[in-house]
Structure 1
Amino acid sequence: MDLPTAWNLDDKSTYLSVDSSGLRVNYEGPGMPGHTGAIRANNPIPPQCKMFYFEIDIIDEGKDKWIGIGFCEKWVNLNGRMPGWDDGSWGYHGDDGNFYCCSGSGSPYGPLFSTGDTIGCCLNFKNNTVFFTKNGINLGIAFRNLKGTLYPCVGIRSQGGSIEVNFGSRKFKYAGNAE
């Protein structure tokens, strides 16, 4: 069972660069509408693992704070749209605090996030729910009826934007029970 361990360098938008560790992503695009860069992890989340959690450190929110964290199917286009805006894609966005579920219209969910924050995402295949955390605090269930072959993903459309993922190679900020 291969778990996500890094970003997939061959499965990303041309607007993004990834450092040699495979964990840090920088936005290189113009920051205009239609110029979102997204990237998927190197492996899907195996549902048989029952629960999967990862965290994203916001290294630099960039000019407009347009960063989305979530998960998506393999076939979702990574050029031009944020996580959650397309069918087969879900995401929590830092600029408005909304959760997007396969649609360009979000639902109010949690606080805004920016430089210095750590956002976590937990996919619970035991009860088919998803929750996010901010700086170690559980924000509550964002989504129910989880299904599909899902990959962790992140989208950025903010000049100077930079994030780093933790798939478990170091201690998580969130220490709570993922139930």
Structure 2
Amino acid sequence: MTILKITDPYNTNITIGLATKPNPCFRIPGLNLYSINYHSINGKKFNNNNIGIEYRPEWKVEDIISCGYYSDSSEVFFTRNGDFLGEAFTGIKHIWFPIISANDSYVIKINFRNNPDNKFKYKEAIDYDFDKPILLSRRRRFKKN
């Protein structure tokens, strides 16, 4: 997703991540059971807790934030402006669904690659073809930044 506008950048928390069904609409993902998220306002990652773990920098307008999941290793990771931010969590297997949330007004653009002109910013996904299966065994392992 690309962040286009945040009404109140000091108090608006945008999150991106994964959750299982059903995820309560009144609770920010990552704080709820079976959900993982990376939060914009403090750069922390959350998995079923209210405290969070220091992860990476806060986000700002025009940042492109992505969430990825490798089902073979149960590895969840995030990217910022195409840069791999390192593993966020490993060993957590569920049937995941992408989820974005916020506690205030914001404008974002989401890239599900439904437009052929859209390109992913993350270099490992740039040439990803949605009409073909992903070859997870050919995936490269990354070093943490």
Give the AA of the match of 2:34.
G
User: Within 2, Cα distance between the matches of 1:152 and 1:135?
Assistant: 18
**Cα-to-partner distance string for 1:77-106 (whole Å, 9 max, x where unaligned):** 012x21200101110000000000011110
> Runs in 1 of length 4+ with deviation above 4 angstroms?
none
Identity %: 30
Question: Where in structure 2 are the equivalents of 1:9-158 lying within 5 Å?
Answer: 56-63=1-8, 64-79=11-26, 81-158=27-104
Q: Which residue of 2 aligns with 1:174?
A: 122
Paired residues in the alignment total: 122
User: Does the aligned pair in 2 maintain the 1:120–1:133 contact within 8 Å?
Assistant: yes
User: Within 2, Cα distance between the matches of 1:130 and 1:144?
Assistant: 6
Which blocks of at least 5 consecutive residues in structure 1 are unaligned?
Answer: 1-55
**Cα-to-partner distance string for 1:17-62 (whole Å, 9 max, x where unaligned):** xxxxxxxxxxxxxxxxxxxxxxxxxxxxxxxxxxxxxxx1111123
- TM-score w.r.t. structure 2 length? 0.79
User: Within 2, Cα distance between the matches of 1:153 and 1:68?
Assistant: 8
User: Does the aligned pair in 2 maintain the 1:61–1:67 contact within 8 Å?
Assistant: no
User: Within 2, Cα distance between the matches of 1:61 and 1:114?
Assistant: 8
User: Does the aligned pair in 1 maintain the 2:76–2:90 contact within 8 Å?
Assistant: yes
Q: Which residue of 2 aligns with 1:34?
A: none
Give the AA of the match of 2:12.
K
User: Within 1, Cα distance between the matches of 2:6 and 2:92?
Assistant: 28
User: Within 2, Cα distance between the matches of 1:143 and 1:61?
Assistant: 27
Structure whose residues are more often strand by fraction: 1
Give the AA of the match of 2:51.
S
User: Does the aligned pair in 2 maintain the 1:132–1:142 contact within 8 Å?
Assistant: yes
1:116 aligns to what SS in structure 2?
coil
Give the AA of the match of 1:75.
P
2:65 aligns to what SS in structure 1?
strand
Which blocks of at least 5 consecutive residues in structure 2 are unaligned?
Answer: 126-138, 141-145
1:145: how far off?
Answer: 1.2
User: Does the aligned pair in 2 maintain the 1:125–1:146 contact within 8 Å?
Assistant: no
| RMSD across aligned positions (CA) | 1.4
